[in-house]
Structure 1
Amino acid sequence: MTSSYPCTLCCRPTTMWCSRCQRAWYCSAQHLETDWPRHRRECLASSAITPAPYQLVAGTVSMVPQLVTVTGLLFSPEQERPHVVTVHCQPAQLPQQGVCPTPLVQDFFTDSQPQSVVLTQGLNGDSLRFPLHLFYCPISLARGAPVNRAIYRITSGAAPKAWCGPVLVLKFNGSRKQGYSDASTNDLPALSAYFLNYK
């Protein structure tokens, strides 16, 4: 099955991709070369044997799922503010309507396998159009350390119980939770309300 994707530089439909990472699409070798100073920072080899440094490959695109990237908010215990991070998501092996990609979040959690909770309500109990998916470290919460300074700061220290350990927040692209969109600092009020009510 042949599919075309938009060129990373000009959005013209193309079936050619960077052979090194196989995740960036270009309509010509010139566009890959032009974009290479930016793309090289995100170009991760898809296998141990890679062309150096890149080349454009044309051909039929199979329906093998490609990693999807979104931005999330990372609340690190040692930082005063949350920061925006890139999170890769693995789509389902077989494309199916309504199946949400799996976020690859383990690298953000060194102590244990993260657990998650979905926030569907924001301030004053209003429903969120775009629910928030929080990943956290259950071991840090159980032992009560380290206190998350970024969360302490956004709640002005008014929460009845301090949140501990790292937290990663992703935003669903709608109430049906079939995919993710980019999270941003605009999501902080709903998150602050959640952390203020945590007991």
Structure 2
Amino acid sequence: MDIGTVVAFLAVDLLLVLTPGADWAYAIAAGLRGRALLPAVAGLVTGYAGYTLLAVAGLVVIVAGSPHLLTALTVLGAGCLMWLGRGVLVRPATPGADTKNMAGTETTADTGRRTMLRGAGISGLNPKALLLYFSLFPQFIDPAAGWPVATQTGLLGTLHMACCAVVYLGVGLLARTALTTRPTAARAVTRTSGAMMIAIGGFLLVERLA
């Protein structure tokens, strides 16, 4: 795999990652919660790590070629997005706020784990990510390049995860910096993020089931 192919992939991949969506909405909401940003981004990247492993194993092609399995993933992913979006609408983040359980005793470690798991759910259950790996990666993989296909797939997946980590961290930090002294605006942005999750989930359901 030559450097020109890698650069071309990075250019296309960055354009896709820079397009706002459910990942952005979650990163913004996490950024407003202070310490939740790092576990949130780690969770989002973990979801894509799962797709990378599937792609390396060749299972992405199998899943993408199974209409029933893809529909099941779409329904599950859309439901997850809508459920998380509802939670964000009900409990909008404010700058520096820490999530607590009903008894108010949830530890920072517990909060971090839950935030990471939710992030992994958002990216890992998003069928659009599956189609991204299925449709974009093959265009940049050359079986005659001298590298094993699995190695090329792993490299592209790693580059995609790196782009996601950098962009989502930047989005979260920007949201925190711009809104840290504006709690009212922060709540409005968070509610907008939650509404985006619900809208994206609804769109995925309609698009797949229509």
Normalising by structure 1, report the TM-score: 0.24
Whichever structure has more helix as a proportion of its residues is 2
Which structure has the larger Rg? 1
Normalising by structure 2, report the TM-score: 0.24
